[in-house]
Amino acid sequence: MSELTELYEEIAVCQRCELAKGRTQTVPGDGSEKAEIMFIGEAPGFHEDRQGRPFVGAAGQFLDELLASIGLKREDVYIANVIKCRPPGNRAPLPDEIEACRPYLDQQIELIQPKLIVTLGRFSMARYFPNASITRIHGQPKRIGNRIYYPMFHPAAALHQPKWRSAVEEDMLNIPHILKEAEQLGETRPLEQAEQLSLF
Ligand code: URA
């Protein structure tokens, strides 16, 4: 059994917060264990809770379209959420729920070692860009160590806001270029500090 599968089994029986009571099942994450790109959303919704997979509702369909716009399928990337259980009525995750779930996301990142982390929406953005405003920093990649972090609007929000929709579509189109940059990090550029990439 892979370490990621072991982690999924641990998540499946998690009781670390109150959300365990209301879930149908946990939604740990989905995609390739060897993915270079990891997308991090917010929380499972109704359909995700039923199916146990992230981004399978309307926002997920849009995410699939966005991925297709750069020639990718969801099997080519890894998709996770900040929290692994559906909040009641799809409310926003609470700080203590995010904190309780943090070790799982940390372990996923540790196991997958993506070169590029794309945050979808403000909750995953806050992990890497604390106190930032998404309307200001979306589409601006930031390098920390040998990884690049790239904040984007959440596809669900973009579905309902035409101006965010075009922003999310445009930001997505820059991903192949950013990934190339990310692939070149490592031995060639060992600088271990945050650095804003000036790609655009
Ligand atoms: N929105 C998210 O942030 N995650 C999902 O899995 C589905 C919708």
DSSP 45: -
DSSP one-letter code for 79: E
What pLDDT, on a 0 to 100 scale, did the predictor assign at position 1? 79
CB of 28 closer than 6 A to ligand 1?
no
Block residue for tokens 């995953």: 124
Amino acid at 35: A
Distances (CA, A) of 18 to 87, 89, 98, 187: 9, 14, 12, 44
CA of 59 to the centre of ligand 1 (A): 7
Predicted pLDDT of residue 194: 57
What's the CA gap between 59 and 63, in Å, rounded?
6
Distance CA 71, CA 173 (A): 10
Q: Measured from the CA of 154, which atom of ligand 1 is nearest?
A: 3
Q: What percent of the chain has pLDDT over 70?
A: 93
pTM of the complete model = 0.94
Distance CA 112, CA 119 (A): 16
Distance from residue 141's CA to the centre of ligand 1 (Å): 22
Q: Are strands 37-41 and 78-81 parallel, antiparallel or unpaired?
A: parallel
Each residue of 7-63: pLDDT tens digit?
Answer: 999 999 999 999 999 999 999 999 999 999 999 999 999 999 999 999 999 999 999
Residue 116 has pLDDT above 90, yes or no: yes
- Going from the Cα of 189 to the center of ligand 1, the distance in angstroms, rounded, reads 34
Domains of the chain, with CATH numbers?
3-185 (3.40.470.10)
For residues 185 and 130, give the distance between their C-alpha atoms in angstroms, rounded to a whole number.
Answer: 24
42 lines ligand 1 (CB under 6 A): yes
Q: Helix, strand, or coil here: 113?
A: coil
Is residue 197 over pLDDT 90? no
Q: Whose CA is nearest to atom 7 of ligand 1?
A: 55
For ligand 1, pick from 48, 64, 168 the residue to mutate: most ligand atoms within 8 Å of CB.
Answer: 48
Q: What is the mean pLDDT of residues 55-77?
A: 98
Distance of alpha carbon 64 from alpha carbon 56, whole angstroms: 9
pLDDT recorded at residue 103: 98
CB 82 within 8 A of CB 43: yes
Please give the share of the chain, as a percent, with pLDDT higher than 90: 91
